Structure formats: C-alpha cells, structure tokens
Structure 1
C-alpha cells in the first residue's frame, strides 16, 4: 500500500481577496510543508502583501480556502491565526516607540504565563545581539534597521509553526540583512516554516526550499529554489508571458 504524502502545514486554494470592490488576488493556490522555507517573489503591486494579509486574516477572503494545520482559517482573524501558530510580521516597522525593547517583546507574548513569556523573550533576543544589548532602550531610540529586527523578534516570541515575513530586509544594511536571513536559516533548522516576501532575490533563494512568483494577482511560477536558470525564468514570468498561463510555461 503506497504511503500518502503528509498534509501541508499551510494549504491555500482558489484564494481571492482584495480591498473593498478592488480585486487583487485571482485564485491563488499554494502550499507550505512543516519546516519548509518558501519565498514569495514578484514585482511591486503583484499582490504579495495582499496574499499574506489574506492568509493571516487581516483581509477578508472573498473566495477559496485557507487551511493551516488541518484547520480552516478563512474568515478568521489574526489572533486566531496566531493562536494556531501562524504569525505574520507585517511590512514596515511596527513597534511601540515609547516603551522599552523588553516591554515590546513582553507585549508580543501577553497571553502567555509570566515565566514562559520571559523565557521566550530571552529566546527571541538571542537571535539579535544588536537589540539584546539595547533591551532597556525605548523602541523609538533604535535605528530603523534595529526596529525591523525588533519586529521580527516580536513574531518569534510566539514560537510560530509558520512565520510570514513581509520584506524583512527593507531599510537594513547588508550586514543586518544577512543577520535576518540567518535567523530564517536557524528557524528552518529548528523546524519552523517560513513564508518570505523579499525583493533581494538572490538572498531569498539562498535560504529557500521553493519559490512562488506572483504577477498582477496571479501565480505565475512555482519552482525549487535551486533549479537551473531560475532568475531568467522569474524574469520571463514577471514580464514576458501571458500572466494567467505563465505558471505552466
């Protein structure tokens, strides 16, 4: 008797979403396995941020399904997603500027028992020595890059099964970009899945198992991150194909 493949950790099927009457996503299908790092690439305006927001419950799903860990998340909210183990670090620096780094992280784990929350704060800080050294400083005293690192650390406090990162390298120096992407590698080794939206294609592919590409709200490519000629295929998928059919080119 053949052994069936394990159920994906995240399964998205026929997903449509947008902003009010403005449709952005047109039937997206993707999956992510436990412990897998997947990059979501595409030109500006392709729908990458919209897709992450629809998956995490920040935007309504107008059609299709979102299943996580075997449970239906479509129609839920970000708190329900986070409780299930799906954590979304949104684009930009979303930290509390008037309280300390430590308090920012404690708030991220507000629903945990006190001792466990303190342990998770220390665990999250261990990934980022630059902000661990500033744990008593206010969030507003951090540089833009350090605030971005703090935002990622806030997501780590939840010990997610799947961490969705929306352009975590934005505003970071090359050294700090490598630090954040090194955290992605460490999470993979620990068995945490990551869905990564990133403009630095080569760096994203270096930490990923697979890649999806979006253009004009359609999925136009799915490939292994190490496949030959992938940068050229991405360019063709973005700009050189009839968008709805490019996935099958």
Structure 2
C-alpha cells in the first residue's frame, strides 16, 4: 500500500500520456500534501519531464485525472494552472536573455494587479540576492546559476502553493546546486509544496519528505526520504531488480 499522506494538495490518478503514437506514461499515481517536498527520481527517459508537463497542462493525457486542491485540472492549461497556484519551472534556465532581470520578472507577473507587481518582485529578489544585485542586467549576462535562480524566481513570483522544479541543478557548480536547493528547504519552511525532479539523488533526498522513482513510464518505488539504504533501493528499482510499489518506514 502507498505511504499515507495526511492531506492532499495534488492528486494524480492513473495518468497516461505521450507524444503522438508513442506512449510514455503508463498509469501514474502520485499524491503531494500541502507544504511537502517530494522528489521524483529516475534514469533519463523514465518519463519524469513528461509527467510534469502533463500535470502543468502542457501535455494532454489520454487517461486518468489530475486534481489540484480538489479541482479537476483536465481542461486547465498552463496559465490556468499557474493562476490556481500550480507553477512549473521548466528545465534549462528558460529566461529571456535580451531583457533585464526586472523585466523578466515583470513578464512572469504580467496578469497580476499592477500595484502588486513591484512588491512581488522585491519579495522574490530577497530570496536571491545574487540576482537582486543584477536586476538591471540582461538575462543573457547572468551566469548559468544566476539564470537558474531567475527561472525559479519567475515561478515564485506567482506565490505558488505547489512549485514543480525540473532538474534545477542541471549544469550548475556544486556550490550553486546547494544554493538553489537551499531555496527548496526555505519554501518547505514557508509552507510551499515542491515537486522536484533531480538527478543528484543524495542532494534531493536531503531536502525531501518523500520520494517517487520512475522507470519506463511507471512509478516503481515510493518511500520516505529518510529510509535506510534508499539510494541502493532506488538503483535496484531503476534497473528492474527490485520493483516494489511502496516502501514502509
């Protein structure tokens, strides 16, 4: 039986999705509670990014359901999802390189009341002083780590209830990885839920409450992040030697 979650913010039930005739997701079940950090781990090609795209409304699913805070999200696109508090930060430091940091954040806040935009910008820049000092610089002048911080800041400006981060450590130095993942811990402390896709298993587990592992478009393991010998169990699950549906404390 899956590990119980006391209250559900996100509920994914039996999701199937893919690209054209290529099926990628095969009956995914997942639950995330308010304020909980959940890591989604797995080898390349497991379907992790596809799952985030489906949850965010970027990719239609062919079966199953997604409910966010009790709302059926079937017909919700990415804009509607973000307005509901479900925000997806796409992999790869997706920022506008020809405009300033401030203008990048203004674009992320485009549909908020004008009087709130400046306050929201200052709020997220307090989280990332590294980019606050470069607020007038173009996005393309930032380092890779700073661009990742800006991408996360663009998501935070929505004050999400659930922030989905797709490999925020990709291409970053170890110091910057720690800096970006420290924000995940800060978000949890502030009551924001996070769904984290990450290849650095030990660092992901260090900031997580629970973990799901995927392989070949299926959930092959669910566990609490502090379970003993979990990295070894994850490796076995990835390669099909041990495929439990859940682990218990």
Q: Secondary structure at the match of 1:61?
A: coil
Show structure 2 runs of 5+ residues with no match: none
In structure 1, the partner of 2:178 is 178
Instruction: Deviation per CA, 1:148-204: give whole Å up to 9, x if none.
Output: 111011000000000000000111111111111111011001100000000010000
In structure 1, the partner of 2:245 is 247
In structure 1, the partner of 2:198 is 198
Bigger CA drift: 156-165 or 124-133? 124-133
Q: Secondary structure at the match of 2:245?
A: helix
**Pairs within 5 Å for 1:1-249:** 7-241=7-241, 246-247=244-245
Runs of 4+ aligned residues of structure 1 deviating over 4 Å after TM superposition are: none
Bigger CA drift: 96-105 or 112-121? 112-121
Asked if structure 2 preserves the Cα contact closer than 8 Å seen for 1:46 and 1:216, the reply is yes
Asked if structure 1 preserves the Cα contact closer than 8 Å seen for 2:105 and 2:157, the reply is yes
Q: Secondary structure at the match of 2:54?
A: helix
Instruction: Deviation per CA, 1:60-116: give whole Å up to 9, x if none.
Output: 011000000000012320011001100000011211111100010011011111221
Asked if structure 1 preserves the Cα contact closer than 8 Å seen for 2:163 and 2:194, the reply is yes
Q: Partners in 2 of 1:123 and 1:176 — Cα distance? A: 21
Q: How high is the TM-score relative to the length of structure 1? A: 0.95
Q: Partners in 2 of 1:193 and 1:180 — Cα distance? A: 16
Asked if structure 1 preserves the Cα contact closer than 8 Å seen for 2:92 and 2:170, the reply is yes
Bigger CA drift: 75-84 or 162-171? 75-84
Instruction: Deviation per CA, 1:196-244: give whole Å up to 9, x if none.
Output: 00001000000000000000001000000000110111011001337xx
Asked if structure 2 preserves the Cα contact closer than 8 Å seen for 1:95 and 1:147, the reply is yes
